[in-house]
Structures are given as C-alpha cells and as structure tokens.
A and B are shown apart, each in its own frame.
Chain A
C-alpha cells in the first residue's frame, strides 16, 4: 500500500522525525487559506506548493512550485490544483491533481538521499544514504555505487546510534547536523519497524543553513501482508489513486492489476497468471489484466472475478487458465457459468482446465450450453484467445 507525501510526513512527525511545517488541502479554497498560516508558522514568506499524487518525478512535470510571495503561491495553487500532471511514472495520460501540500520553504545547505528497504539477499533491512540527494538515485547507484553508503540493521538490536555516527562521517557531517542525524535516524528506523514499512525513502533529506536535518520528501510503502496490524491505515487510502476494478477485486480478495491489452485473463496462482500473460504476448496478443483468483476461491469469488474482467470495455476475448490444486476445476466451472448467466457473454471465452476434478469441470461447461472454446493445454488456449481477440475486433 502507498500513501501521499503529506500523509507520510504526518506519520514521520508522529515518530519525532523532523519535517517542514506544512498543511495539506483538498480544494483550492483550503490551499489558499493555508498559505498565510504556513508563512506565519514557518517564519518565512517562502512556501512550496506540492502536488500530491502517488507517482514520483512531480517536480519535472511542473507539480512542485517554490513561491517567494503570497501572490506567487496563490497563482501556483490555482495552476497546479486540477492539472493533469504527467511524470515519468504516471504514464502519458498523467494524473489529475486533487490534493496539495503547502509547505514552509527552507534555507537548504545540502540535499542528501536516504532510503530504507529490505535486502532480500540477507533477509535484513538496510539503510542507504548518499550525498547525491534530490536526483535520480538509481542513476547514482549504477554509475557511482561507491557514493551510496549501506548499513544493515541487526534484527536483534535494531538500528544503533554508532551506525548514525558512522553514516554522518561518511556523509561528511559533523557538529550539530551530525547529532541531528542521529535523532532523525533513531525516529525513522523506529517508524519503519513499528509500521511494517516495506520501503521508506527520504529524497531529499536536507541540512539547513542553521544546522537542522529534515525530511523534505517522504515516500512510504507498507507491507500489504501486515495490514491486519494497521487497520488505521485504511483511512489513508486515496480511491482516486487506485483503479476502480482493482478496488473491487480487493473487496473479493482477488489479486487483479489492469493492463493495456484486450485479452482478459483469469488464472489461479501468481506465477501461472504472470506466465499466462507471457504466453499471450508470445503468440502476438496483449493481456488486459493480471488476475490471480487464488487457491481457495469459491464459485462466488470466481463469478466476481469474471464480472471484473468483463466490465473492461477493451476486453475482446477471455482466457481462463486453471491448474487446479486446492482450487477445484468444478468450482471454477460453476463460477464461470453463473457469471455468464448473470452478465452475458459478449466476447469469445476460451477455457483451459487441468488438475483436481478436471473431468467434472469440463463436463459442467459442456453441459451448460454456453458458447465456450475448450483448450487442450496452455499453448492451445493462448493461441485460441489471441485469434479470437483479433477476430472480434
């Protein structure tokens, strides 16, 4: 799960991580009213107007504006709110800006990069930092790996103060900023652990002319598996940032991701679902979605999955690819039949069934009288689905 920058900063602040003074707004009026308050609380006329969307690269797309006066800030608010913000991460259609963060301007001395994430090779969390902040850290990692400092967190002790001192030394910090970094990191690592973060990126982390250390940006992702421990985060979901079909799928505990193609896929198991996308592409088609119905799905869940697929107007053919283990083929057949009876079938449906209760499942589909194309195996099914999608264009 992802959250907005302003939500991330509220969370960090709660843990004692220093962040600039800021007020979020969900309308132009609120944003305009926030400007003088931020100017007053921040002790400077300079404010930053920041578009709040889940994609990165907002600055390059014109979604971040530093304003020296109240009039400039008001102009920026009116310009950015409601704009279709296009960044390298939004895709060409961009994303509509419906939330803003009005933030205190800072007299920045230097920008650093700071990130925390899980190192899968060791099964431990790491803190990464670099003097090359504010820019594309992946580029730094590729061209100058020696400029990124990594420290592993011991699961038994957690982050230690000596690690902060070591990192300060590597980053060339001393005196007050070095001490502030220690406070910053103690709070940040506690937040990461407490909140089951899967990724926490502060880019940039800044030092100010008066020796303070603050998080100027915050990108936080949470471990979806740990959401049962953090029910409060559900309120932070922004439905505007999530695909409607993906939200519906979530309700049914289905793993669904909308894609650009025109062949709807219903598969059990993540690996098989990804591979089904692969084989459709291999035979010249394009998948409309990734959909894993999971292992223990009921007929109702399968019906819901089928409805989600058919609600996509781009879908020109459907490929059901099931290898039943725990998932029984007759359950899939029942779900498909019910769904087709309820919502109708406007595009060709190719079904490949294998595994537990396969004969029963095939018989149910054959007896249903529905116009279903049976596939002998995965390759046969993919080719038939690709041909059907081309034929029905």
Chain B
C-alpha cells in the first residue's frame, strides 16, 4: 500500500525538454515510474534524447486526454512554475508535485488560493521539494531511488537531503518505507505535515511515521497537536536548525527564526509533549524510530 503515488500513477513531466526535466525523467523511467507524457509549451511532437518513447505535448490537457496522465511533476523554471501548476489543475490532474525551487511567494499565494477555491480535490506537493516516492512502485521527483526499500514507515519531511539521510538510516536498519513525502521548505506550499499525517494515519500499508521538521513557522507545533489527537501509529521526529542564529535565512525560505517564533526548542517541546520520540541528532533518526518500534 502507499499514498499519493504508486502503481496507478501515470505521470506527465512538465519541462521534460529542459536539462533537469530530461535528466530526472530518465531516472524515473529507470526506477519503473510510468512516465506517459512530457510537456513543454512549443515542444509538442519533439523527441527528447533518451526519452524518445515518451510523447511530448504543448499542453497538459493533451497529456491528459491523449496519454491518460493523472499526475504532474513540475521542473519548470521559477518564473513560469506557478502558471504550470494551475495549468495542470485546470487540465484535470489530481496530484501535482512541484520540484521547482525559487517560486516567488506572491505567485504561490495565488496558486494556493485558486486550488483551494476551484480544485479542492487536487493535491499539491511542494514547491521546492524532492518529490514523493513509494519504494518499489513509483518515484516522482529527484531523490536517489536506490537508498529506499519497500516497507511500513511513512516519511514526511520539510528538507530534501535530510529525507535521504533518514531513509538511508531506516533502510540500513531494515526498516522499509511505505511512502516518503518531501513537502518542501517554502512558506506557501501545498501539502503540509497534517495533510501528510492524515494520509499515513489512514493508509493500511503504513505502520509507523517519521517526521522531519525545521525551524520557522509553526506547522510542526500544529502537527504535534494533530498527532496527539488523531494518530494512533508510532511517530518519531527530528527538527533541523537547533543551532541556527535568529534572523538569518538558512537556504530554505521557510527556515528562518523571526521575532522569537519558530525556534527548534519550541517545536521539540511540542513534539515531546505529544508523546513523540525526538532524535537528538540527525545521525540517530533511524535508531530513534527503531527504539520506539522495539
């Protein structure tokens, strides 16, 4: 079992003729993902080297009607990415995974607003995220596929490379993953912790959860309250940025402590208060969950 992506995923790659899009489309095909179409405006009918078997279209609507696409992955550069997300929703795509880093907040405010208003059934993951993978079934994004292993741990994370880190640690301990979701580090995003936790809580294939948060905002605190109330499965967590100085933007637009809000200590306290095991260092994430499950 899995959430968001799996055997039923039929993927259209937005920006497949670009360097990032074509590189990762090839990796996804190799992993076994059903990449049914590529999309770049003005490149309909084009053959992308190494991906000649995948038809290219000018619009997402064609990818849906002609190739049966039901999931979008966005590699479009930041100035055009918001537009591409909305095009996917309008074309009838259900799951949109936006990898693009650097989309202006003003654009994402509008995207989120329109999705909430006109396409409430559409799930957006990202932007600025590594994507979603259901090990052994389907990889949508940029994560290294080989570190994953099918199993029962649902992983949700705000950080890309820390997701790889925890997955690697879990796999080394023999703990496979049901689905790993990178929700991204941007301040305005689609799926947040609570959305992902709801999916994992209901998924029969997920037996435990690992959550990686970081400084900034209060979504970890809200997630902790949600877990306490609604999630019966074992949860372990880690919070990155415990030693980050206030007022500095640490790469992610989201990772900034401002005005005393969003400090790691508050988040860790909230998680512990909800009965969640918190890993003391990023090197012990796998072990922390293993201990809970033992």
A residues whose Cβ falls under 8 Å from a Cβ of B: 89, 118, 120-121, 123-125, 138, 141, 155-156, 193, 196, 198, 223-226, 228-229, 255, 257, 259, 267-279, 281-282, 287, 290, 292, 295-296, 323-326, 354-356, 377-379, 382
Shortest beta-carbon distance from B22 to chain A in Å: 13
Interface: B158 (CB within 8 A): yes
Check if B160 sits within 8 Å of A325, measured CB to CB. Answer: yes
Asked if A296 meets B255 with Cβ closer than 8 Å, knowing A259-B245, A378-B165, the reply is no
Interface: B91 (CB within 8 A): no
Nearest to B248 among chain A residues (CB) is: A257
Check if B161 sits within 8 Å of A268, measured CB to CB. Answer: yes
* Contacts across chains A and B counted by CB atoms under 8 Å: 173
Beyond A124-B109, A278-B240, A378-B281, list 15 extra A-B contacts (CB 8 Å).
A138-B260, A141-B259, A269-B161, A272-B240, A274-B250, A274-B255, A275-B282, A278-B241, A278-B282, A292-B250, A323-B161, A324-B144, A326-B20, A354-B164, A379-B283
Asked if A155 meets B102 with Cβ closer than 8 Å, knowing A224-B253, A274-B244, A379-B283, the reply is no
Q: Which residues of A contact B202 (CB under 8 A)?
A: none
Q: Which residues of A contact B248 (CB under 8 A)?
A: 257, 290
| CA of A62 to CA of B252, assembled, Å | 35
| CA of A279 to CA of B20, assembled, Å | 32
Shortest beta-carbon distance from B114 to chain A in Å: 8
| CA of A287 to CA of B283, assembled, Å | 17
Asked if A378 meets B253 with Cβ closer than 8 Å, knowing A225-B105, A257-B248, A323-B165, the reply is no
Interface residues on B, range: 35 or more
Check if B188 sits within 8 Å of A120, measured CB to CB. Answer: yes
Interface: B51 (CB within 8 A): no
Nearest to B252 among chain A residues (CB) is: A270
Q: Which residues of B contact A198 (CB under 8 A)?
A: 105
Nearest to B222 among chain A residues (CB) is: A121
Interface: B103 (CB within 8 A): yes
Check if B242 sits within 8 Å of A278, measured CB to CB. Answer: yes
Q: Which residues of B contact A273 (CB under 8 A)?
A: 250-251
| CA of A325 to CA of B144, assembled, Å | 5
Complex interface: stretch among B3-11, B59-67, B209-217:
B209-217
Nearest to A154 among chain B residues (CB) is: B113
| CA of A181 to CA of B185, assembled, Å | 36
Interface residue from A121, A259, A295 paired with B218 (Cβ < 8 Å)? A121
| CA of A355 to CA of B146, assembled, Å | 9
Interface residue from A118, A296, A324 paired with B105 (Cβ < 8 Å)? A118
Nearest to B105 among chain A residues (CB) is: A223
Q: Which residues of B contact A324 (CB under 8 A)?
A: 144
Check if A118 sits within 8 Å of B241, measured CB to CB. Answer: no
11 contacts between A and B (CB under 8 A): A120-B219, A121-B219, A155-B113, A226-B104, A270-B185, A275-B159, A275-B162, A278-B241, A323-B165, A326-B23, A378-B282
Q: Which residues of A contact B158 (CB under 8 A)?
A: 271
**A-B complex: 9 closest residue pairs judged by Cβ atoms:** A271-B159, A269-B161, A270-B251, A379-B283, A226-B104, A272-B161, A275-B282, A271-B162, A155-B113
Check if A274 sits within 8 Å of B106, measured CB to CB. Answer: no
Check if A282 sits within 8 Å of B281, measured CB to CB. Answer: yes
Check if A354 sits within 8 Å of B187, measured CB to CB. Answer: no
Interface: B38 (CB within 8 A): no
Complex interface bits, B174-185 against A, C-beta within 8 A gives 1, otherwise 0: 000000000001
| CA of A124 to CA of B117, assembled, Å | 14
Nearest to B187 among chain A residues (CB) is: A120
Interface residue from A156, A229, A274 paired with B104 (Cβ < 8 Å)? A229
Interface residue from A257, A272, A277 paired with B159 (Cβ < 8 Å)? A272
| CA of A296 to CA of B19, assembled, Å | 11
| CA of A296 to CA of B218, assembled, Å | 30
Nearest to A136 among chain B residues (CB) is: B259
Nearest to A355 among chain B residues (CB) is: B144
Check if B250 sits within 8 Å of A355, measured CB to CB. Answer: no
Check if A120 sits within 8 Å of B104, measured CB to CB. Answer: no
Q: Which residues of A contact B108 (CB under 8 A)?
A: 123
Q: Which residues of A contact B105 (CB under 8 A)?
A: 118, 196, 198, 223, 225-226
Asked if A290 meets B251 with Cβ closer than 8 Å, knowing A223-B105, A325-B142, the reply is yes
Q: Which residues of B contact A296 (CB under 8 A)?
A: 20
| CA of A193 to CA of B110, assembled, Å | 12
Check if B164 sits within 8 Å of A355, measured CB to CB. Answer: yes
Q: Which residues of A contact B160 (CB under 8 A)?
A: 269, 271-272, 295, 325
Query: Among residues 86 to 116 in chain B, which have CB atoms less than 8 Å away from a CB atom of chain A?
Result: 101-106, 108-110, 112-113
Q: Which residues of B contact A287 (CB under 8 A)?
A: 243
Interface: B130 (CB within 8 A): yes
Check if A123 sits within 8 Å of B188, measured CB to CB. Answer: yes
Q: Which residues of A contact B157 (CB under 8 A)?
A: 271
Interface residue from B142, B164, B238 paired with A323 (Cβ < 8 Å)? B164
Shortest beta-carbon distance from A149 to chain B in Å: 18
Check if A278 sits within 8 Å of B281, measured CB to CB. Answer: yes
Shortest beta-carbon distance from A53 to chain B in Å: 14
